[in-house]
Amino acid sequence: MLRTFDGSAGWPALRSRFAGRLPETTLAGLDAAVEFAVQRHGEQRRPAGEPYAEHLLEALDVLVEAAGERDPDVLRAAVLHDVVEDTPTTLDEVRERFGPGVAELVGWVTKEGDRAAYLQRLRGAPDAALAVKLADRLSNVQRLRTHPRPAKRAAYYRETVATIVPLAAGRGWFEEWYRQWQADHADLDTTDPDTTDPAV
């Protein structure tokens, strides 16, 4: 069965679960990152209606629980990965508040301009940035069937298979998860013409 991740319980519950896995200094850094992200994303919601913070916490959970990631910068970047792309926050502000390491990772996964060029650029991203991106997309696609628009499901499935699944190759747990996900969702690969904007 495909493993899925749920951020609906909120950060306090997730923090409690991480307490035996992560040092208190890392947790304190995540406290600040979560507070900042929640404030900046405000009332934003995902396409299926869930609060945006749930997506950020799911990406974090993937990295800690499944991928075994412990680097504090990578974990904070997972929480902050959309704050420049989807809010008025600047990369300089991320750098000032959370340091150059976090800012570099957020910069790698921030889409600016052409979507195809962004996805192409990811092929040259450092391993840490790819881990953030793979966790981000995993959260987006794990329940792809709940997206309210069938055409977007199809387009996003095809884009993920073409551009993200190859990035997971050779990356242990991520490679296996995406292989299973691709097989489990293959029926979404339709020829619906509404494919111009696969973003979710």
Secondary structure of 94-163 as H, E, C letters = HHHHHCHHHHHHHHHHCCCCCHHHHHHHHHHCCHHHHHHHHHHHHHHHCCHHHCCCHHHHHHHHHHHHHH
For 92, counting Cβ atoms within 10 Å of its Cβ (0-12 exposed, 13-18 middle, 19+ buried), the class is exposed
| Token pair recorded at residue 170 | 């050779």
Indicate the residue type of 115: R
What's the pLDDT score for residue 144? Answer: 93
Identity of residue 109: V
Q: What is the pLDDT of residue 180?
A: 97
Residue 155's pLDDT is what? 94
In a domain, 193, yes or no: no
Decide if 79 is inside a domain. yes
Determine, yes or no, domain membership for 200. no
- pLDDT value for 196: 47
> Residue 43 is part of which domain span?
11-188
Domain-embedded: residue 6: no
Whole-angstrom Cα Rg for the chain: 16
Residue 69 is assigned to a structural domain of this protein: yes
- How many domains are contained in the chain? 1
Q: For residue 16, what pLDDT is reported? A: 98
- Least Cα distance to 7 among 40, 39, 38, 32 occurs for 38
The tens place of each residue's pLDDT in the chain, 200 residues long, gives 899 999 999 999 999 999 989 999 999 999 999 999 999 999 999 988 899 999 999 999 999 999 999 999 999 999 999 999 999 999 999 999 999 999 999 999 999 889 889 999 999 999 999 999 999 999 999 999 988 888 899 999 999 999 999 999 999 999 999 999 999 999 998 755 444 455 55
Q: Tell me, what's the pLDDT at 134? A: 98
CATH number at residue 173: 1.10.3210.10
Residue 198's pLDDT is what? Answer: 58
pTM of the model: 0.93
Q: In this structure, is the dihedral angle defined by the CA atoms of residues 70, 76, 82 and 85, taken in order, positive or negative?
A: negative
Asked whether residue 93 is domain-assigned, the answer is: yes
pLDDT for residue 193: 47
Which residues are catalytically annotated? 85-86
Torsion of CA 22, 135, 36, 74, to 10 degrees: 50
4 within domain boundaries: no
Q: How many CB atoms lie within 10 A of CB 149?
A: 13
Residue owning tokens 């073409």? 162
- H, E, C per residue of 37-57: HHHHHCCCECCCCCEHHHHHH
User: Is 41 inside a domain boundary?
Assistant: yes
The answer to whether the Cα torsion of 81, 85, 87, 90 is positive or negative is positive
